[in-house]
Structure 1
């Protein structure tokens, strides 16, 4: 793959990659480092892509694998920062915007607190991946994905309260 094509691929999946990185790293500077690591891992992995899964699924799998390695390789710090600051809906007023931001931060922190296997599945589900796509991205069965998502939902519901 040429550099221009790779740059286009990174641009096309920038939001997905940013949100996956944010699910693994709270610190913005470390998140940037993780995004660079993900980009390097993608550059190295792309020649091995055989087209058996969608490119988006392949990209997500590489990003999650790199994120998991990142978490395993270092001690996590408590979250003090958000996922992507551009996720809030600008159509709402300041109070509504603040409430949405608080909910988003609570969800983000709750997702980060999940065990790694549950975090991977729920992050992809929040990105709109189907259970089959999640299974392909994580290299597990669709039934295993369903189990992980059910456990993650229960854990998130417990962490966020019944109103979540």
Structure 2
């Protein structure tokens, strides 16, 4: 299988994850498409460096997150606060259910984007299904640090999505 075919197979398997990562870092539709292209180029360039030390999915996610961080750094002078487009059709049987799902998705996306970068990264990777140990490898952090950040991210997201609820008190 040639490099182009290998890359096409990789996109078929991991393209949705890469689009979601781009969406978590950029709300503006046009800039998000540019970021997606930048991520794909970064992955294309990085693939020859993958030595199999980590699963390919984790390697690709790390490359995508690193590229997204660069994007955010460049855009920091002009922050964007726009809701994400929900281009994925809903399986909900009614338009009301679909609207409620979109609203929840938009609120979650805004809440994730509002997290500090140190909490956003592990939260997004958790939403992508990565285990804390994998997240630690991807981000180059200690697993305890990842666990602490995930706890803080969950608390912040819980508060952002349900501001009327009283914060949990742990002994």
The question of a shared fold, defined as TM-score above 0.5 by the shorter chain, is answered with yes
1:6 aligns with 2:23: no
Query: Unpaired segments of 5 or more residues in structure 1?
Result: none
Within the candidate set 80, 85, 109, 2:83 is matched to 80
The alpha carbon displacement at 1:23 in A equals 0.2
Q: Deviations over 1:31-64 (max 9, x none)?
A: 1100111111111111111111100000000000
**In structure 2, distance between residues paired with 1:9 and 1:148:** 30
Q: Deviations over 1:87-138 (max 9, x none)?
A: x532331111111110110000000011112111100100111011111111
TM-score, normalisation: structure 2? 0.89
The alpha carbon displacement at 1:80 in A equals 3.0
Query: Unpaired segments of 5 or more residues in structure 2?
Result: 167-171
Q: Which has the higher contact order (CA 8 A, sep 6+)?
A: 1
SS in 1 for 2:129: coil
Q: How many residues align?
A: 161
Give the superposed CA RMSD.
Answer: 1.5
TM-score, normalisation: structure 1? 0.92
Runs of 4+ in 1 over 4 A off after TM superposition: none
Aligned match of 2:141: 140
Q: Does the Cα contact within 8 Å between 2:42 and 2:67 map onto a contact in 1?
A: yes
What does residue range 151-162 of structure 1 map to in structure 2 within 5 Å? Answer: 151-161=152-162, 162=165
1:54 aligns with 2:61: no
